[in-house]
Amino acid sequence: MSKFLLLALGLAVAVVVAIALSRWLLDGIAQHLGVAVAAMAGAVGLWGIGLAARVPLAKQNRFFTTIQEGTARIILKGDSFDRAVMAAQGRDFRRNVGPVSGLDRWAAYDVVDSPNPKFRGGFSFYGLYPFRDILKYNWEVVLYNEEGKKEVVREKRLFVDLKEMILWVELDGNEDVDLRKVRYLLAVRGRFVNPLKMLYEKPEWLAFLLSELATDARKFTSDKKFEVLARNKNQTGAELGLYFKEQPREPGGPKFNTLKHIEEECGFRLLEVNIIDVTASQADIDALQAPEKARLAGEATKATAQAESDAMEIRAAAEAKRIATITQALRDGGEDARLQRMLEVLERAPGGPVSMQFIPGLSQILGGNNTAVDAKTIEKIVRQVLAERQGQGRPRQGQRRK
């Protein structure tokens, strides 16, 4: 076979092979493209199913959870801590903001200011349940509520509240310089800045906080008088708040910041301390108030006596004026014979008040009616008038002097 024929046959075979390969490749590409499209459709379908299912799953905290603004969730791996997630405007865990090399495990979860103010809450996929789960713990706190009343909260919680709260704090067992028992009622404002310290290092955080504050309050009170502490509560609150921050735990020792110590130990930052009330035992209060009560009682007795004296003087003056009026009326309008008849009746009358009608002619002289008068007083006046006339030698009305 000539070289040209062999060359032509080779070219023909190459063309056939090329065509066959091209068709096979095109079929393969189409087939793989179909698989890819099907895979993408399946992925989209699964994503849609996930979107539809995440709401009911998040309500049950299965695979998904919801994170409210100002709260954190603790995610477990088995029974052990795995990680924490939070949502707070302008704040985040330190580990999400910057490097944490050299810090211990819990310090990486300090809540710090975040340069990214974006809200990170809402639905969150936390892992495959039950290999991952949300921590549920017992929460107990005593709050000073908006109505100024004590509110005890006990509940099971799946979150840690990172918002500010106001604690109701009662500090007993304090003694002033006179050994009087002093009790403080405080409203302490603060918030958690490390939820893991509270949950894992100091689950008894509230008792720890109260113990630390009580220790300082006892020392603060020991050289002061109760009446001074109670007189100006605002000033006492300011001084006590400063004492919590700057006071030596040992005589002559360095200043100690109790509020900072509480934050480092249990992750709760105290922002403000206000005194609501300063009280002592009722016996001590009564003893303190006894001199003032005695003084006030003396003044009240004196005032009462003076009032009674003034009233007696007023009554005496009124009685004297009334007697003078009756006396003058009998002098001017009473004939001796009429006065003598009055006297005879009055001598037989019982003591005490009697009606004017009982004494003949008295109502005509005095212009009264059935008004009651004192019989003995009228008798005395009548005798006085008769005696005056006899002493002066005054003629009886209706007669001339001989």
Higher pLDDT, 17 or 104: 104
Higher pLDDT, 288 or 315: 315
Consecutive H or E run containing 14: helix 3-59
> 301 with 373, same domain?
yes
> 147 with 253, same domain?
yes
> 212 with 250, same domain?
yes
Q: Does residue 359 register a pLDDT over 90?
A: no
pLDDT in tens, 173-193: 999 999 999 999 999 999 999
> 265 with 145, same domain?
yes
> 150 with 223, same domain?
yes
Residue 150 lies in a domain: yes
Query: In the structure encoding, which two tokens stand for residue 402, read together?
Result: 């001989």
> 386 with 303, same domain?
yes
Query: In the structure encoding, which two tokens stand for residue 363, read together?
Result: 């109502």
Locate the DSSP E strands across 158-267: 160-161, 165-175, 181-192, 247-248, 255-256
Q: Does residue 401 register a pLDDT over 50?
A: no
Domain count of the fold of the chain: 4
DSSP label at residue 88: B
Residue 129 lies in a domain: yes
CA 127 to chain centre: 42
Q: Which of 280, 312, 341 is the last residue of a domain?
A: 280
pLDDT in tens, 184-222: 999 999 999 999 999 999 999 999 999 999 999 999 999
Q: Name the band, by pLDDT with cuts 50, 70 and 90, for residue 50.
A: low
Q: Which of 38, 59, 80 is the last residue of a domain?
A: 59
Residue 7's pLDDT is 45
> 291 with 276, same domain?
no
Higher pLDDT, 241 or 50: 241
How far is Cα 22 from Cα 27, in angstroms, rounded to an integer?
A: 8
Residue 398 lies in a domain: no
Find out whether 153 and 124 touch, Cβ atoms under 8 Å.
Answer: no
Residue 400 lies in a domain: no
Q: Which of 280, 315, 334 is the last residue of a domain?
A: 280
Say what the pTM is: 0.60
Residue 401 lies in a domain: no
> 153 with 268, same domain?
yes
Q: Name the band, by pLDDT with cuts 50, 70 and 90, for residue 40.
A: low
Q: Which of 10-19, 55-64, 215-224, 385-394 has the highest mean pLDDT?
A: 215-224
Find out whether 399 and 385 touch, Cβ atoms under 8 Å.
Answer: no
Q: Does residue 120 register a pLDDT over 60?
A: no
Residue 402 lies in a domain: no
CATH number at residue 271: 3.30.479.30
Residue 361 lies in a domain: yes
Q: Does residue 3 register a pLDDT over 70?
A: no
Tokens 């008068």, residue located: 373
Q: Name the band, by pLDDT with cuts 50, 70 and 90, for residue 119.
A: low
Higher pLDDT, 321 or 145: 145
> 159 with 213, same domain?
yes
Query: In the structure encoding, which two tokens stand for residue 250, read together?
Result: 């040992």
Q: Name the band, by pLDDT with cuts 50, 70 and 90, for residue 5.
A: very low
> 93 with 194, same domain?
no
Smallest Cα–Cα separation from 196: which of 154, 135, 257? 135
Say whether 361 sits in a helix, a strand or coil.
coil
Q: Does residue 36 register a pLDDT over 70?
A: no
How far is Cα 228 from Cα 367, in angstroms, rounded to an integer?
A: 69
- Residue 254 sits in which domain range? 141-280
Smallest Cα–Cα separation from 242: which of 255, 232, 252, 223? 255
> 182 with 266, same domain?
yes
pLDDT in tens, 318-358: 777 777 777 777 777 667 777 777 777 777 777 667 666 66
> 165 with 276, same domain?
yes
Residue 316 lies in a domain: yes
Q: Does residue 44 register a pLDDT over 70?
A: no
